């Protein structure tokens, strides 16, 4: 009985690595007291030269390969962006704004986008951004470990997650986050 209890308490802190990047993410994350599983990881590539920008990890209550479920399910979820190169704040703001425009949310989510862009900072290699959604609360944003605040509403969450799961910046990133392909450089 003691061994069984220890097994419950001492769950291994396993992690998965995105091959070729040196970036690992744990298999589980806690959000709002709930255990989420690592759904998948992917690499954001930019420019015609496929420059690696960040390794993203998606955590959900249960694994799914459905982009629609990731966008629309009103459940705890967490997205971690681990930067593998330096990125200027202006480039991040431009990317968020372009993504909201592309997905038709620029008007309806303007106030949230203004907040989000205001919280952005220059990111250095190794820095992280963490986006955590809790139903009834909204998306809480951490930049370099600093809690910047929460943008309320499921509508903002849906618009935000469309960045990766509706018309993504690159298909490999989307497929990796959905666990359809392994995360590799």
Instruction: Give the start-to-end residue ranges of the domains of the chain.
Output: 16-177
Largest CA-CA distance found in the chain, in angstroms, rounded: 58
Asked if residue 183 lies in contact with residue 55, where contact means CB atoms within 8 angstroms, the answer is: yes
User: Rounded CA gap, 181 and 40, in Å?
Assistant: 8
Task: List the one residue out of 161, 167, 121 whose CA is nearest residue 139.
Answer: 161
Q: Note the residue count of the chain.
A: 185
* Dihedral pair phi/psi, residue 146, rounded to 5°: -105, 125
Give the tens place of pLDDT for each residue, 7-43. Answer: 334 344 567 777 777 888 999 999 999 999 999 999 9
User: pLDDT category, 3, cuts 50, 70, 90?
Assistant: very low
Q: pTM higher than 0.85 for the full model?
A: yes
Computed over every residue of the chain, the mean pLDDT equals: 89
Classify burial at 75, counting beta carbons within 10 Å of its beta carbon; exposed 0-12, middle 13-18, buried 19 or more.
middle
Cβ contact 11:74 at 8 Å: no
Query: 161 versus 46: which is more confidently predicted?
Result: 161
Q: What percentage of residues in the chain have a pLDDT greater than 90?
A: 72
As a whole number of angstroms, the distance between CA 140 and CA 146 comes to: 11
| pLDDT at residue 6, rounded to an integer | 38
Distance from C-alpha of 135 to C-alpha of 120, rounded to nearest angstrom? 23
What's the pLDDT at 115? 97
Query: In the CATH scheme, what architecture does the domain 16-177 have?
Result: 3-Layer(bba) Sandwich (3.50)
The closest of 40, 47, 43 to 20, measured between CA atoms, is 43
Closest residue by Cα to residue 181 from 83, 48, 65, 88:
65
- With beta carbons less than 8 A apart as the criterion, state whether 46 and 84 touch: no
Q: Which of 11-20, 31-40, 73-82, 169-178 has the lowest mean pLDDT?
A: 11-20
């Amino acid at each position: 009985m003691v061994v069984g209890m220890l097994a419950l308490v001492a769950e291994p802190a396993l992690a998965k690595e995105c091959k070729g990047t040196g970036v690992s993410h744990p298999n589980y994350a806690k959000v709002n007291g709930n255990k989420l599983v690592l759904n998948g990881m992917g690499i954001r590539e930019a420019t015609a030269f496929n420059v690696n920008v960040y390794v993203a990890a998606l955590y959900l209550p249960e694994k799914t390969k459905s982009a629609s479920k990731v966008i629309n399910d009103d459940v705890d979820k967490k997205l971690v962006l681990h930067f593998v190169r330096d990125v200027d704040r202006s480039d991040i703001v431009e990317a968020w704004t372009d993504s909201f425009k592309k997905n038709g949310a620029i008007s309806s989510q303007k106030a949230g986008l203004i907040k989000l862009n205001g919280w952005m900072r220059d990111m250095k290699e190794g820095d992280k951004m963490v986006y955590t959604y809790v139903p009834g609360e909204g998306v809480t944003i951490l930049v370099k470990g600093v809690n910047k605040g929460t943008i309320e509403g499921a509508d903002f969450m849906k618009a935000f997650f469309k960045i990766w799961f509706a018309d993504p910046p690159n298909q490999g990133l989307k497929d990796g986050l959905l666990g359809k392909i392994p995360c590799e450089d």
